Amino acid sequence: MEIDHNLKKKLEKGKNRLAEIFLRSKLVDKKYIDAFLRVPREFFVLERYVKYAYVDTPLPILKDATISAISMCLLMCQHAELDYGKTVLEIGTGSGYNAALCAEVVTNGVIQEMKQKPVCSIEIDPALYNFGRENLKKLNYLRVIDVRLGDGTQGWPEDRRFDAVIVTAAGRVIPEPLKKQLKIGGVLVMPVDLGRYDWQILLKIRRISEDSYTKTELEPVRFVPLKGRYGIKQVP
């Protein structure tokens, strides 16, 4: 995708302005804003929405999916306590933008080939999987992100534990397979429909031991429904 010079300047201006707003409001820690500045969101949206890339709002991508608002992506990273050297499992690759943000945080911006990739992402929809993976590939993020097609509610297909799990769609329960793939002390962040009004609640689950977890309700959110065996829209 080619972006003309004038639009590039406008996008850069909008990006910097948004970063200043996030800094002034103390929305999230600076390391997450630095990661935001390194990821070109304009390459993760549909071409007709490029001019809105740095408007802090969700944007449609394919089918009924969206790319989340920038502030929500950053908040999810902070709630998941992402930091340099940590590993993260993302459920719902979508456009690939959130996975790219995670990668920037956990590598501190050093996107180089790794044997075991610190970011793993699963997408259940084949069209979205191809869209997100291609976006990440063009920007070299596949060096540090492992993207798979499958039912993310059943967890990563290989035997691995993560420091953080981020679910980018709303379910009615926290899938047990995802809790089991947390390291001790690890954090899972997911929107859950608790039947309260038209909003979901963002939950933070921390694994305390092999068999015990704590749960914290964070804030009201709006996400698309989670698909999969343990999702709202169940599939085999």
Helix H or strand E encompassing 99: helix 97-107
Beta strands in the chain (DSSP E): 59-60, 66-67, 88-91, 119-123, 145-149, 162-167, 182-192, 200-207, 213-221
3-state secondary structure of 133: helix
Domains, the chain, ordered by start: 5-221 (3.40.50.150)
User: pLDDT truncated to tens, each residue of the chain (236 aa)?
Assistant: 778 889 999 999 999 999 999 999 999 999 999 999 999 999 999 999 999 999 999 999 988 889 999 999 999 999 999 999 999 999 999 999 999 999 999 999 999 998 899 999 999 999 999 999 999 999 999 999 999 999 999 999 999 999 999 999 999 999 999 999 999 999 999 999 987 667 899 999 999 999 999 999 999 999 999 999 999 876 65
**Nearest Cα to Cα of residue 78 among 142, 164, 155, 180:** 164
Report, as residue numbers or ranges, the catalytic residues. Answer: 68
Give the predicted TM-score (pTM) of the model.
0.95
